Homo-oligomer: A and B are copies of this chain.
């Protein structure tokens, strides 16, 4: 099936921001199917969109309506696609999170997503069903300004890179291991991909292959990503991460990166040599091609926050035009940051503020504070992640439908707790967590209330170990009020909140043994997932669901139904 894109110019003149704006409908037809690909030179079964992984980039403009008709051509597997960073205002049923906002899309079925991209910026899309994202079903959404408007920073060209990590075993194999008693950890990824291209060291295969196709460094699928630049020009580089597991450091040898956008919001510019980026985050950085143009430069991604000595770094090449694009840089790629030093990561998180002139002032106070203690647990011998000692399990009837149609049997009506035993819990110790439970209960938020979330990190089941968790909120942006080390102090830490120029984001890390404070308005009627964006962590229960303003949700489309208790609706 050829990718078909209809650009329908709708004669719709809306009055937005005082300007006459033309909003378009952009229509795509996507076929999702299984194919063999070798993104890191090692052949494995992946999931493609119209034959590609990463899938096609959606390039659109603010206020456009996006229509994506997804045909599931997998054989026995369902799917669902989440539009990460798009708030789905008025269309909560098209958020694409299976079990939360829709039933899965069955093989042979075409599902039509339709939503408005109401803010400019850099976003992503990806499968939101089981751990299917890890099979390669992901891509970028780039929302430009309406015609006639301009960004508050100057650049000559706009380029896009998605970063990822990559496993050689299938997501089903991974899921079997993660669900096993005893627990079987998936390990570190085999490689890092830069825009869908990586390089696994075929000669490092413990099992040397006589099949020349299995691992072949001359496969065009894994020819390195190359960014060609014209000397002297400035590039807006949109960098997104959709790693399964890894926190990354991204860098371009010898070039400064000026951070100007995060998750669709303008950042008060600051300069870094390496950008720390967590799964689910998007950034724009400005890069000036101001170095010696006679040579090429390394583009690298490295794993931080976890030891991964056997995972080769992601490597691409910044090519100064007219150098030969296949010419490797003469240098050794820049060294990775020390993996277990979280201070520079914490510092970079704290450096991200809203850009002057584009500050959204948060409400001064919140109506409710929920503290989420992040712990690793064991429930009936099974390794799980929990929030306040409750490990999330997916229901079989999507919450949005259950709530709207008052199907009270569809999920546990008892909400999980708003906090944990702050006084007595030692976040630096391992805990038996004997009282940990599984539940699909949800948090019901008062519509239009202001909610504070404190993400509190803690020790895992391993001694002296705490991990980085990037938490992603569906349906909203939140203000990032602060980050800290150790246990959040409810009496003193709120006084340090940044209420002046906090950045708004949809994904934010909580650093090892640290805390992160967020604030958001529960102003988007629907049911919304908030979860760790590490695929295995969410699979193992690291998430919650918020519901708000359900009475304001319009008539649900029948296309999202057909599963669980909605089979007969």
Seen from chain A, the residues whose Cβ lies within 8 Å of a Cβ on chain B are: 34-36, 45, 75-79, 103-104, 106-109, 129-132, 170-173, 175-176, 206-211, 394, 396, 558-559, 561-564, 566-569
Q: Specify which of B129, B208, B558 is in contact with A567 (CB 8 Å cutoff).
A: B558
Complex Cα gap A206–B211 (Å): 8
Closest residue of B by beta carbon distance from A80: B76
Q: What residues of B have a CB within 8 angstroms of the CB of A129 in the complex?
A: 76
Asked, given contacts A76-B78, A78-B76, A564-B109, whether A207 binds B206 with beta carbons under 8 Å apart, the answer is no
Q: Specify which of B77, B171, B559, B568 is in contact with A569 (CB 8 Å cutoff).
A: B568
- Contact in complex: A108, B394 (CB < 8 Å): yes
Asked, given contacts A396-B108, A569-B568, whether A75 binds B171 with beta carbons under 8 Å apart, the answer is yes
Complex Cα gap A559–B172 (Å): 26
Q: Specify which of B172, B206, B568 is in contact with A561 (CB 8 Å cutoff).
A: B568
Nearest-Cβ distance from residue A379 to partner chain B, whole angstroms: 15
**Which label, helix, strand, loop or mixed, suits the secondary structure of the A interface?**
loop
- Contact in complex: B76, A176 (CB < 8 Å): no
Nearest-Cβ distance from residue A566 to partner chain B, whole angstroms: 8
- Contact in complex: A45, B211 (CB < 8 Å): no
Complex Cα gap A321–B390 (Å): 55
Q: What residues of B have a CB within 8 angstroms of the CB of A79 in the complex?
A: 76
Closest residue of B by beta carbon distance from A207: B209
Complex Cα gap A436–B210 (Å): 39
- Contact in complex: B131, A106 (CB < 8 Å): no
Q: Specify which of B76, B109, B175 is in contact with A130 (CB 8 Å cutoff).
A: B76
Nearest-Cβ distance from residue A110 to partner chain B, whole angstroms: 9
**Closest 9 pairs (CB-CB, A-B):** A562-B562, A108-B396, A76-B130, A558-B568, A562-B567, A75-B130, A75-B175, A206-B210, A76-B77
Extra contacts, 19 of them, besides A35-B176, A76-B172, A206-B211 (Cβ < 8 A), are A34-B172, A36-B176, A75-B131, A75-B172, A75-B175, A76-B77, A76-B79, A76-B130, A77-B77, A78-B78, A78-B106, A78-B107, A106-B106, A106-B396, A108-B394, A206-B210, A558-B568, A562-B562, A568-B569
